[in-house]
Structure formats: C-alpha cells, structure tokens
Amino acid sequence: MLLAKCVLLLVLQVLSCRGEFFSSTSGLEKLFETEVVLLAELQNYVNEINQHAEALQSEIDAIRVEHLNAADGIDDYLNNPVNAFRLIKRLHSDWETFEGSVTADSSRSNYLDTMARLKENLSFPSQDDFVGSAIALTRLQQTYQLDVAELASGILNGVKYGTAMSWQDCFVLGQHLYALRDYNHTVPWLQQSMQLLGEQSYGSESASLDFMEAVVEYHREMGAHESALSLVNHVLSIEPDQRSHLLEARQQLEELITDGDKNGLLHLTARRPGDYHESREFRMYEQVCRGELAPLSSKQRSLRCRLRKSRLGYAPFKLEELHLDPLVVQLHQVIGSNDSESLQKTARPRIKRSTVYSLGGNGGSTAAAFRTSQGASFNYSRNAATKLLSHHVGDFSGLNMDYAEDLQVANYGIGGHYEPHWDSFPENHIYQEGDLHGNRIATGIYYLSDVEAGGGTAFPFLPLLVTPEKGSLLFWYNLHPSGDQDFRTKHAACPVLQGSKWIANVWIRERNQDNVRPCDLERGQEISLHYRDFD
C-alpha cells in the first residue's frame, strides 16, 4: 500500500495544475482527474473503518453515478455547464464536508495525511472558479431565458443533457448569488432548492423544516414576500402545532403583500441608471443570441452563395454572403478536422485567461468579466496549420498578411461569452511603441469546433447570428473605406450553452492594404455613426 501511494504521488506531480478553470472548458478534465483520485482515497478510508461508513458510502455512490454518466463521453459531460458547476461545487465545498465527517474518528489520521499530500499536487478550483461557474449559470439562464427548474434538472433549451442538481446544489448556488448581491437570481434558486428538499423522503422531518425556516429569513430580508409566505405555509401544513410561532410571521407577510411593500434588498439594489446590461443594445444582443431578432426577409433576398476561385491553387472557396453592407461572409469547409484539432492541441498547454485592451487607452490589456475565455497567440510561421490559416485569409481577401497580428486560438469556458464590442480601435487608442500598422481593417474567425448549443457570433445592429461550423471562416471589414470605424460591426460571442467552443482569431491591420481597399477621399462614416453611442 505504501509503495502504491508513493507511485501515485509521483504521477500526481505530472497532473498538478494551478490554472484558472471556469474561463475555459479545456482544463476541466484535470478537475475530473482530481476527483477520481480523491474518490479512490476516500474509498480506501471507508474500507478501513466501520464507523461512519454508511454515511460516507452514500456520498461516494452519489458521485459514482456522476462518473458513470460521464463514462460514455467525458468531453460531453464536462462541456455541460450544470455538470461543470456541480463538479466545481463538489471540489470547492463538498469534499471539505467529507473531511470534516471523519475528523472525530480515531482512524482518520492516515486519510487526512494523504489528503494533505494530495492537495499539494492535484488541481483544485479556486474561489474565483466557483464564483465564475455560478455566474455562468445565471448568465445562461438570463440570456436564453431558461427555466430554473429545467436548468436544475439538467435540461438546456428543452434538451436533457446531464444529471439533475440536488437541493444542496441549488441552495449553495443561491447562497453564493446572495453573497454576490444578485438577489434577482437568488430567489428562484432558493425556491428550487426548497422544492427539491420537500420532495425528498426526509423532506417532512423536523431538521428539514428547520432548514426551510432559515431560508424564509433569506426571502424576508430580500423582500421576496410571496416566496417567504409560500415556504411558511408549507412548513405549517406539515407541523401546524409544533410551528405555531410561524402564524405571526404569516400574518405579517400577508399584510406586506396586501400593502404592496417594496422594502428589502431586491428593491434597494436596483441597477444603476446607465447600466449597460439594462440598455436596449444589450437586450438586442440577447435577442439575437436567442434567435428572436434576425435580418428581414427583404434584406436577405439579395444574398448569394457562390464559389470563389483560389489565387493560390487551393480548392474554390464556398462563399456564403451573410450581409452586404457592411460585408460579412462565411466560407465553408476551409480547413479540415485534422488542422482544427492540431491547432487545439498546440494551444492547450499555453492557453491563459483572455484579455481586452484597457479602456484607459494606455495600450495595455487586462482580464474582464465580460469576456470569459482562455487563449494563446502564435506567429503564423509556427507550423503548417497556422501557415494554412494565414494563406487562406490572404488568398480569399487579397489583404497583405504581413500586417496581421499573431493568430489567437481561444477556448470558451463555462457559459463562455464575450459581450458586444468592436475589434477596431477607437480614435483615442494609444498604440504601443513601435506599432505603426494602424487600425484593424478586417477580422477573420475560424471555427475550430462545432458547438452543440449557443456560442454563436452575434451582430446586434445587423441583426445577425452566425452559428459556429467547424472548419469554416467568418470574415468582415471593421473599417469604412475612409479608415473610420464602422460602428455597425459591433459583435459578440453568445454564451456557450452546451459544448466546447474553439476558435482562431485573425486580425489584419490597415497598413499597406491600399491596393485591395483604396482609401476613400470622403469619410462616409455617417451611415454608422448612429451606432457609436447606441442605447
């Protein structure tokens, strides 16, 4: 046994990772491997003791069910945002509970010593990962208008993808949303938690009713009087005599509802005026992501699909016009699966949290909550696959790829998204020293994976939604021929609902592109100025 543990610890040195997990689905496999090892250690401990065995074994069996569900396809399992949240929640919270359950046992020392060594070598999620995964679920809930009960059941947009959340999962999520002051989302998750608790075989026991009483106070503090009253009535229906002290609370709640009382945290923390997430533009973006807002039929009649001859001897490009002014096109079947997977494999060891250019205009960049992904940048000369991506964009567009930024390969995390933004730089942008290549004249996005649900590229002002298609290239110009920003090209990455989204970003600068796109003498940006400060 001692030799086996020594060998195990050597293996764990290889698995060790302290990266960020919620911003990329790529690293979640390490967390799954962590739980596999932890589960094995806990099983060893249970096999050595008799006391507390039944309680601990029940927890083990519950997680075993999760792992069996994942056996048919670990990627599909981990790409599910509910499964990812539950995995992170277990490793962040539940395993500490398991450790606590053996603290009082006389035979605990070997297990706890082993766990201490494992924590030095295995991958564990941070508080940021836990909070990030919780926020991701609420982002998906809001963007796609998902029903909380269905989401907790593992149903995403009407499709059953994974294991249902337990009442404890829902409560912990609600509790952390409360701590984040996201009270509008706290209420339905606490409601779902209590509904699931009431459905358990022990849901009518005194301990469960005590817990429900405690949750009543959450609702009362938030000013969710109807939710509090519903829970009080439920508890009183089971133990009317033992819980008679709740009668006064019920009367108070009924009076508050009748009076239309608006006191409570829900009402004190309304969004500030000017909050972008309450703007008309952001609502349009969410509508495009849901497919509720799309180009008019009259605008689509003039769009064509055609073959475009390659100047470099490649197969003709299968070009589909998605929008004419500004021009947005998608080229289908540009690269094969082998190249897509090669690019993912090349990027995996190097990806780190994606950043955005600082709004301070100092030329720097920083991580931001409105962009949750991880990426890695490569010179196009890196290998055959990266060279091919450069050749195809240059071949199709005629643009000089010597003035392209490094290729960026990115993977979107749990509910991964990038809120509406422009790729082009504003007029007050401060370029880094030595950067003389000018603004980003054009953008290309290679889709390196299909995405089962969500994850589309949305153009709120067009309004256009492009579904990721593995091997295809999305291309558009960010600037007017005059070199001014075309504000109509504001776009976003809709949250990934199910699956893993891999892309490769191509950004081409405007220097020495005059032979392909001559500069207009007149600015001609009036057509898009309306969208610069759109609300």
Give, for all 535 residues of the chain, the pLDDT tens digit.
Answer: 433 343 333 333 333 444 577 677 777 888 999 999 999 999 888 877 766 677 788 889 999 999 998 888 898 899 999 999 999 999 999 988 888 877 766 666 888 889 999 988 898 888 988 989 999 999 999 999 999 999 999 998 888 888 899 999 999 999 999 999 999 999 999 999 999 999 999 999 999 999 999 999 999 999 999 999 999 999 999 999 999 999 999 999 999 999 999 999 998 865 666 789 999 999 999 999 999 999 999 999 999 999 999 999 999 999 999 999 999 999 999 999 999 999 999 999 999 887 776 555 455 666 677 778 899 999 999 999 999 999 999 999 999 999 999 999 999 988 899 999 999 999 999 998 889 899 999 999 999 999 999 999 999 999 999 999 999 999 999 999 999 999 999 999 999 999 999 999 999 999 999 999 988 878 878 999 999 999 7
Q: Identify the pLDDT of residue 9.
A: 38
Ramachandran category for residue 455: left, alpha or beta (phi over 0 → left; psi -120 to 50 → alpha):
left
Closest CA to 115 of 184, 6, 37, 194: 37
Q: In 3-state terms, what secondary structure has residue 382?
A: coil
> Are 84 and 193 contained in the same domain?
no
> Are 450 and 494 contained in the same domain?
yes
pLDDT digits (tens, 9 = 90+) for 140-152: 999 999 999 999 9
Last residue of one domain, picked from the residues 62, 92, 121: 121
Q: Point out which residues pair with 288 in neighbouring strands.
A: none
Contact 123, 31 (CB under 8 A): yes
Query: Could you tell me the residue range of the domain that residue 75 belongs to?
Result: 25-121
Q: Identify the pLDDT of residue 343.
A: 97
The reply to whether 246 falls in a domain is yes
**E strands in 413-482:** 418-421, 440-447, 453-454, 457-459, 464-466, 473-477
Q: In 3-state terms, what secondary structure has residue 338?
A: helix
Q: Identify the pLDDT of residue 358.
A: 57
The reply to whether 291 falls in a domain is no
pLDDT digits (tens, 9 = 90+) for 462-499: 999 999 999 999 999 999 999 999 999 999 999 999 99
Q: Identify the pLDDT of residue 159.
A: 87
> Are 74 and 208 contained in the same domain?
no
> Are 242 and 207 contained in the same domain?
yes
The reply to whether 54 falls in a domain is yes
Helices (H), 409-525: none
> Are 94 and 159 contained in the same domain?
no
> Are 143 and 91 contained in the same domain?
no
Q: Identify the pLDDT of residue 106.
A: 60
> Are 131 and 111 contained in the same domain?
no
Q: Identify the pLDDT of residue 72.
A: 83
Q: Identify the pLDDT of residue 28.
A: 85
Q: Identify the pLDDT of residue 500.
A: 93
> Are 328 and 409 contained in the same domain?
yes
The Cα 533–Cα 59 span in angstroms is 53
Q: Identify the pLDDT of residue 520.
A: 81
Q: Identify the pLDDT of residue 350.
A: 93
The number of domains in the chain is 3
Q: Identify the pLDDT of residue 7.
A: 32
> Are 497 and 460 contained in the same domain?
yes
The reply to whether 285 falls in a domain is no
Last residue of one domain, picked from the residues 78, 101, 121: 121
> Are 117 and 150 contained in the same domain?
no
The Cα 63–Cα 98 span in angstroms is 12
Q: In what order do the strands lie in the sheet with 418-421?
A: 418-421, 491-493, 457-459, 464-466
Q: Identify the pLDDT of residue 365.
A: 64
Eight-class DSSP state of 404 = B
> Are 256 and 302 contained in the same domain?
no
